Amino acid sequence: MRLLKMLFLAIVMVGIVILSLANREAVTVNLLPQGLSDVYVWSMDIPLYLVSLASILTGLMIGYVLEWLRESKHRRMAAEKRREASQLASEVDKLRKQHLSEEDEVLAILETKTKNA
């Protein structure tokens, strides 16, 4: 499985290099459309592959942030359940220590068997 993952990543990387080599010509990127260029003029000549890679990375980052926000309620619930389980485990240990006395031989034998198993 790891080999397949590495092979897939290698193919993707080769594809990105080929895309970059094929699109090296410069394009003009404008901040605003032509009709609004009277307000603020900002344009830059950069290679086309940088525009495409920047847009892909921007889309990935937006997707990651939205997914992180969507899953926040699940992370919060998991943290609450983890705290609850920890409290219950400590309560069970406390109750075992209270009710498991040296006089109760049967419970002591059962306790030692469960620890050894």
Global pTM?
0.58
What residues pair up with 44 in beta bridges, in sequence order? 29
pLDDT of residue 42: 81
What is the CB neighbour count within 10 angstroms for residue 53? 15
Instruction: Report the C-alpha dihedral over residues 21, 23, 28, 34, rounded to 10 degrees.
Output: -160
* Average confidence (pLDDT) over 31-47: 80
Token output for 33: 């459309």
Looking at residue 101, what is its pLDDT?
Answer: 58
Tell me the pLDDT tens digit for each residue of 47-105. 998 998 899 899 999 999 999 999 999 999 999 999 999 999 998 888 888 776 555 66
Confidence category of residue 16, pLDDT binned at 50, 70, 90: confident
Element (DSSP H or E) covering residue 44:
strand 43-47
